[in-house]
């Protein structure tokens, strides 16, 4: 089992339509490929975690990097894991831009600010810590298939 994390930038402001469209086309692929994970979106950036079998994580990432809906893609990590963080075969979509101001401010205080929103870190340990923190929040603004 493998986990890949990357960060990218969106050429236009991200909203729920952007997240919905991306995850709508991903749903069937990810189920077939036994992939799980999360797509975090600020107004300007994405950070995605993809977990699953080596070949499937690899080929999905190869498709994703060619997608014109984002650019400036930076690989944060790709490595072997003991267990999934996200146990369902699905991709959670979380709109950080819709977090309540108080929570967003606290995350920004801890992880920094970028283009007026939460900064997605490039260090794996920090990315995982941030994802863990976000996972602990109940009532997340999220889109689920």
Ligand X SMILES: Cc1cc2nc3c(=O)[nH]c(=O)nc-3n(C[C@H](O)[C@H](O)[C@H](O)COP(=O)(O)O)c2cc1C
Name the residues that contact ligand X, by CB under 6 A: 22, 25-26, 29-30, 39, 46, 48, 50, 60, 63-64, 67, 69-70, 91
Give whichever of 105 and 122 is closer to ligand X, judged by the CB atom.
Answer: 122
CA 63, 67, 70, 74 dihedral sign is positive
User: Both tokens of residue 142?
Assistant: 């999220």
Give whichever of 44 and 60 is closer to ligand X, judged by the CB atom.
Answer: 60
Min dist CB 30 to ligand X, Å, is 5
Beta bridge partners of 4: 50, 78
Min dist CB 49 to ligand X, Å, is 10
Question: How many Cα neighbours within 13 Å face the side chain of 105?
Answer: 3
Q: Torsions phi, psi of 121, nearest 5? A: -70, 155
Helix (H, G, I), strand (E, B) or coil at 103: helix
Give whichever of 17 and 109 is closer to ligand X, judged by the CB atom.
Answer: 17
Min dist CB 102 to ligand X, Å, is 27
């Amino acid at each position: 089992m493998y986990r890949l994390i990357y960060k990218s930038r969106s050429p236009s402001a991200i909203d729920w339509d952007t997240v919905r469209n991306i995850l709508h086309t991903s749903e069937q692929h990810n189920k077939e490929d036994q992939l799980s994970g999360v797509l975090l979106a600020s107004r300007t950036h994405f950070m995605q975690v993809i977990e699953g079998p080596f070949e499937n994580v690899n080929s999905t990432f190869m498709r994703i990097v060619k997608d014109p809906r984002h650019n400036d893609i930076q690989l944060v990590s790709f490595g072997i894991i003991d267990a999934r963080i996200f146990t369902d075969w699905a991709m959670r979509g979380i709109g950080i831009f819709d977090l309540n101001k108080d929570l967003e401010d606290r995350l920004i205080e801890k992880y920094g600010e970028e283009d007026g929103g939460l900064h997605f870190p490039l260090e794996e340990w920090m990315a995982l810590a941030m994802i863990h923190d976000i996972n602990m929040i109940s009532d997340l603004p999220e889109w689920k298939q």
